Chain A
Amino acid sequence: MSASSAAFRPAAAMLGLSIREVSQALRDGRVSATELCRKCIDQIQRTHYLNAFITITGETAMEQAQSADNRIRTGKPLGPLDGIPFSVKDNFCTENIETTCASNMLKGYVPPFSATVVQKLLDQGAVLVGKTNLDEFAMGAGSTDGVFGPVRNPWSYTTLYREQSTEDLDSDWAIAGGSSGGSAAAVASLSSFLALGSDTGGSTRNPGSLCGVVALKPTYGLLSRHGLIPLVNSMDVPGIMTRSVHDAATVLRILQGPDERDSTTVQAPSTPPSLPEHFDIRDICVGIPKEYHAPGLSTDTLAQWSRVAAMFEQAGARVQEVSLPHTQHSIVCYHVLCCCEVASNMARFDGLEYGHRSTVDSSTDAMYTTTRHEGFNNVVRRRILSGNYFLLKSNYERYFVKAQQMRRLIAEDFKNVFRSGIDVLLTPTTLSDAARYSDFIQEDNRTRSAQEDVFTQPVNMAGLPAVTVPTALSRRGLPISLQLIGQTLQDWKLLTVAHWMEQQVNFPLIHLHGDSNERKLDRSVRERTPTIGS
């Protein structure tokens, strides 16, 4: 993040700051929370073509911003997030604000309570500007399979991408990744300083990587899942998306910790107020898992992986190849476990207590069936069907139990590696930069999820923390990111290493094509961007 240039930017550039920077600007009176909030909402509207938002909460946001201003003016801000606009994936419950999961089933559903993580942000004075788009019930890796349509990757609307494109804006654009594509696009397009995603198989890190933002999947149980509409309870984690590692650490510190409404939460280790500014990378041992040299890994991504590994080595860190032998089975096991929990979790949507209810009422069964047929898309229905199949008494041992056993082995692999002295693992986050939408939809959701989650998914099996940090732009002008994986509950150490990495790679700020305010900066950033092949 180009913090140095912040002071010289016009007011409009305020949106490109990090939370740390803009929080300071708020305290210094250089901008008010209401101004900042209005700018974000304007930006959402200006970039509406990205389809990142399902609901924009302009009115309540302005009220919250007003309260923040009152506090800041009297010198009593609640904390580093007071007055900071944020957005939330539309599978987190928000009190009195529609929560749809991008599904017909929950269109019009207004929860009577807020998810713990959302409430914690609101309690800190952060300003909720909107609910973001996703794959239906977070089942997908592209944010292309929701009832509100696909999310577009903001980086396919930058000058660099458009200049290479021979097609028009509406036919040639890249996917945002998924399933938290709306949240990633919101942070990448400067509509929010922070967004919450959810991460079950990579759903925060994948779009974070493709949209060039920092995306943290904390240790399982460190953040409360209360109010997160579940995909796979045993793997779901609220994810944090920001434009800097430092910001992610700030938010983690606020969100982490036990919640009496979620029995799977754990006590967070004590964390210092902020990441260390000076940190000796020579104390760190970085593992490079050889199994992550997967088929389909793009040359651009491989080049970045090698470049950053070399950076670590040159700076004095120990870099060594490691093996995670069971990782190859992760995706198929995930498929079984995911479908089983989906089948179970989706059973509550029967149209009786809330949500869509079919008008067909010739019998209870007919009503259930049509309600669920009308309410869920194909992807959800297929997973329910598979899950119920895997859970049948006669299949349970063959599928569910086997997958659970394999899950233990996968987790064991990671443990062994960390036990051998490795501090963090460095891997790609995705196989390549973002696919063109028209290419992406050539394959079905199941195939895409299997391909896209290959580097991110094993982490969820083991419940480990992982963070993706953008490192460079590809030849196409789209972000490439790398993932760091840490040990259980060592999220802080993980972020410390990620922070170091972020400072080395110098990833550029986005500049959307046709954004006159940013034209001059756009060129200057491009000049010092370490794009591949340049």
Chain B
Amino acid sequence: MAASPSGYSRMFFKLRKYANKSQSLYHIDSFNLVIRTIWTSGSRTQLQPKVHTKSLPQMVGVVGLEIHAQIQSTSKLFSGSHVRFLAPPNSLVSHFDASLPGTLPVLNRRCVEAAVLTGLALNCTINRKSLFDRKHYFYADMPAGYQITQQRVPIAVNGMLVYSYFEGRRRDQVVTKSVKIKQIQLEQDSGKSLHDDDQSQTLIDLNRAGVGLMELVMEPEMCCGEEAAAAVRELQLILQALGTCQANMAEGQLRVDANVSVHRPGEPLGVRTEVKNINSVRHLAKAIDYEIQRQMEVLQSAGKVLNETRAFDSKSGNTIPMRDKEGLQDYRFMPEPNLPPLFVYESEASVPAGVDPAQVVVIDRLSGQLPELPSVKRTRLVETYDILQEHSFTLVVRKSTFNLCIPISPCALAELINLVESGHISSSTAKQVFQEMWKAPEKTVGQIVKEQDLWMINDKEELQKICKRIVNSHPEEVQIIRGGNKKVLNKLMGEVQRETKGRTDPVQIRAILEKMVS
């Protein structure tokens, strides 16, 4: 470009789109590759895809995760630009973010604190001294030509994440596992390339360029999609509780790549593929299970698994190879010379003289700020309120749910539950009453039920009358039922429920109806 008054003033950096589409500049969606579906994504109950052979032990999947968590902070990792989702393109770009020559990185303490908090919550060892490195590659949305990351000495290492999922036919058996966290490293996010096929150009938005990321590496210790999904769900809850990452996968605040391989237990790990382009936890499970099954089938048919990057296609549920970045990448790592080593201190007392304790990161101070973590909260719920363990998982779903200030007193709630238990109101009515209690906390449960006439109809005669009316007005359905299709009885039951606004006991109604039509 010719003389631009200021390096980054143009709101959009236009980059022509080229005949050569080889680069990974292109979204995977634009590939029109058709891959024969060889396996449709597994059902939720299928824990571990298995291929049986005669003599050898079964093959199993091995899954490791690389997770990029966008740090929840007001400004970027090395610049004062604001961090905001869905801001106008290139409106959050400082001189440094646009890589103007002569600009230097200045580390954002808040991002370091977020990484330390996350490290503490994941039982990591916090490195008292960590280092920054440059990782080089040319990419249109990475203006400096390198990413600042922590390759040699990351801020946190050797952690562990404990997660649970449900097993069994009714999915009520809690299985608890753990996975090692190899490291958490601080690094810069890239910008975004937007490919406009119609205009034949690529538009670059640098709003995201330089936002702080925590890269978490989970060791290959999971065996299937469900385990990985459960681990990620637990991580999401932890990050949300800490406030270090909003962890919404759809908005890209949490990006999960899965390293997947298969092998027979006892043998060395198989060749792994990296699965990318996964934008929900559900897709993560699907993608991994698909990939495990695919690799098994490749090996079954005497093929070879290639060490490649594959993308998950959510429409087909398949993974498809991504065209690689022009052969092997050598990132030419080098220490970042503009950032001194990052020191964090054990306690205020260990901060060296001449350093303002308010300006540095002190572990003790952060430990004190750790909120109640989801697992602790669940245990507390189980112990304090004597509820079922699986229910504690339902309750602790998001930071906000459990902490909401509910305007309903425990007594009122107990009253409501008692009415359900004693059969005075139906469970569907209870939900309705609960809504009312929320809106009008001054009213008692009894008042609401009475005002809205929600008491359960337990009078046998009245029930008989209602059922009779329904049977009489649905002669066709009755014919069908008598012809042997008992399923249609459900329709009649639904009619009764509608007529009575759900104030009847389905078991009772069913019995009456069955008698009438038989």
Contacts and interface: CB of A to CB of B under 8 A. Distances in A.
Interface of A: 92-93, 98, 101, 106, 108-113, 115, 225-230, 232-234, 260-264, 340-341, 343-344, 346-357, 361-368, 388, 391-393, 396, 400
A162 B52 CA distance: 95
B281 interface: no
Nearest to B144: A348
Interface string B132-150: 0010101010011110000
Given A110-B4, A112-B100, A364-B23, A264 B340 contact: yes
Interface residues on B, range: 35 or more
B351 to A, nearest CB: 16
A53 B143 CA distance: 30
B106 A233 contact: no
A344 B136 contact: yes
A362 B107 contact: no
Contact of B25 (A232, A347, A364): A364
B8 interface: yes
The 9 closest A-B pairs by CB, nearest first: A347-B145, A108-B3, A354-B7, A112-B6, A391-B332, A363-B20, A233-B337, A234-B337, A363-B18
Nearest to A267: B354
A363 B337 contact: no
Given A93-B101, A263-B340, A112 B145 contact: no
A225 B101 CA distance: 11
29 contacts: A93-B100, A109-B7, A110-B5, A112-B6, A112-B8, A112-B95, A233-B337, A263-B104, A263-B107, A263-B340, A344-B134, A344-B332, A348-B99, A348-B101, A348-B143, A350-B138, A350-B143, A352-B13, A352-B204, A353-B8, A353-B100, A353-B143, A354-B8, A363-B22, A364-B20, A391-B136, A391-B332, A393-B330, A400-B334
Interface string B1-34: 1111111110001011011101101000000000
A112 B102 CA distance: 11
A207 B8 CA distance: 34
B190 to A, nearest CB: 13
A135 B431 CA distance: 78
B19 to A, nearest CB: 6
B7 A353 contact: yes
A262 B22 CA distance: 39
B367 interface: no
B334 A361 contact: no
B338 interface: yes
B333 interface: yes
Nearest to A347: B145
B333 A391 contact: yes
A451 B106 CA distance: 36
B388 interface: no
A260 B104 CA distance: 10
B67 interface: no
A353 B145 contact: no
Contacts of A93: 100-102
Nearest to B141: A352
A343 B136 CA distance: 10
Contacts of A92: 102
Contact of B1 (A261, A262, A357, A396): A357
A261 B104 contact: yes
A361 B136 contact: no
B23 A112 contact: no
A98 B3 CA distance: 9
Contacts of B23: 363-365
B2 A108 contact: yes
Most chain B beta-carbon neighbours within 10 Å: one of A261, A346, A365 = A261
B339 interface: yes
Contacts of A234: 337
Nearest to B18: A363
A262 B4 CA distance: 26
Nearest to A236: B337
B101 A261 contact: no
Contacts of A111: 6-7, 100-102
Nearest to B93: A353
A115 B102 CA distance: 8
Contacts of B330: 392-393
A341 B145 contact: no
Most chain A beta-carbon neighbours within 10 Å: one of B20, B102, B333 = B102
A108 B143 CA distance: 19
Contacts of B143: 348, 350, 352-353
A230 B105 contact: no
A355 B1 contact: yes
Contacts of B292: none
B146 to A, nearest CB: 6
Contact of B18 (A110, A225, A361, A393): A361
A228 B102 CA distance: 5
B83 interface: no
B4 A354 contact: yes
Contacts of B339: 263-264
A261 B106 contact: yes
A365 B16 CA distance: 12
Given A110-B3, A364-B20, 9 more contacts: A98-B3, A348-B99, A352-B204, A353-B100, A355-B1, A364-B18, A367-B16, A367-B18, A391-B333
A225 B104 contact: yes
Contacts of B334: 340-341, 344, 391, 400
A352 B145 CA distance: 11
Contact of B146 (A113, A347, A355, A365): A347
A351 B22 CA distance: 20
A337 B189 CA distance: 27
B98 A353 contact: yes
Interface in B147-189: none
Contacts of B13: 352-353
B103 interface: yes
Contact of B15 (A113, A349, A364, A388): A364
A353 B8 CA distance: 6
Nearest to B204: A352
Contacts of B136: 343-344, 347, 391
Interface string B86-123: 00000000010011111111110000000000000000
Contacts of A348: 99, 101, 143-145
A388 B308 CA distance: 25
A212 to B, nearest CB: 30
B102 A226 contact: yes
B501 to A, nearest CB: 65
B436 to A, nearest CB: 57
Contact of A364 (B5, B7, B140, B332): B140
Given A93-B102, A347-B138, A361-B18, A392 B4 contact: no
A319 B78 CA distance: 48
A109 B15 contact: no
Contacts of A362: 18-20
A106 B100 CA distance: 11
Contacts of A393: 330-333
A375 to B, nearest CB: 11
B1 A354 contact: yes
A109 B3 contact: yes
A355 B6 CA distance: 10
A347 B144 contact: yes
A363 B19 contact: yes
A348 to B, nearest CB: 4
A70 B107 CA distance: 41
A112 B7 contact: yes
Given A354-B4, A363-B19, A388-B332, A344 B102 contact: no
A204 B23 CA distance: 43
Contact of A229 (B102, B105, B333): B102
A211 to B, nearest CB: 25
A78 to B, nearest CB: 25
A234 B6 CA distance: 27
